C-alpha cells in the first residue's frame, strides 16, 4: 500500500510491482501532507488487502489507463470479488474523486459516501 487510494500490484509475468490508483477514490494523504484520517485510511485498506493477496484490476472505458504519475487507474476487486474502492468509501476512509471525467461507478460511490457521511464514519466523524 502507498496510501488509502493507491496500492502496489505485481502483475502476472512481471517481476516489479506496479502502482495502482484505485479509481473513484480520494483518500487523505499519508506521506506528503499527513491529512486527518490518512493513517486510518491506510490501515483500513490494509484490512481489506493484505500483502500477497490476489486482486482483479478492472479498467473504466471513460478513463485513461495511466494517470500523470504513471499509476495504473483501475477498480480493484479482492479475491472474493468485493469492490475495494466501495469498501473504503462505505467505511468513510475515502471521498469520491470528483475531478476529471465521471467514472462509471460515480453514482454508486456517491451514494456510499452520503451514507458514510450521514453515519459519521471514518473521516466524516474523525476530522
Which domains does the chain show, CATH number per domain?
6-126 (2.40.50.90)
- How big, in percent rounded to 5, are the helix, strand and coil portions of the chain? 30, 20, 55
Take residue 77 and report the three cell numbers written for it: 476487486
Q: Are the C-beta atoms of 7 and 20 separated by less than 8 Å?
A: yes
Task: Give the pLDDT of the chain (127 residues) as one tens digit per residue.
Answer: 568 899 999 999 889 999 999 999 999 988 776 788 999 999 999 999 988 899 999 999 999 999 999 999 999 999 999 999 999 999 999 999 999 889 999 999 999 999 999 999 999 998 9
Amino acid at each position: 500500500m502507498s496510501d488509502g487510494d493507491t496500492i502496489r500490484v505485481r502483475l502476472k509475468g512481471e517481476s516489479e510491482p506496479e502502482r495502482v490508483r484505485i479509481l473513484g477514490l480520494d483518500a487523505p494523504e499519508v506521506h506528503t501532507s499527513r491529512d486527518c484520517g490518512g493513517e486510518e485510511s491506510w490501515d483500513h485498506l490494509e484490512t481489506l488487502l493484505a500483502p500477497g493477496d490476489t486482486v482483479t484490476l478492472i479498467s473504466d472505458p471513460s478513463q485513461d489507463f495511466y494517470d500523470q504519475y504513471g499509476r495504473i487507474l483501475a477498480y480493484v476487486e479482492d479475491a472474493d470479488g468485493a469492490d475495494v474502492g466501495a469498501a473504503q468509501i462505505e467505511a468513510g476512509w475515502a471521498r469520491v474523486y470528483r475531478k476529471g471525467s465521471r467514472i462509471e461507478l460515480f453514482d454508486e460511490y456517491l451514494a456510499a459516501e452520503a451514507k458514510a457521511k450521514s453515519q459519521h464514519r471514518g473521516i466524516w466523524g474523525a476530522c
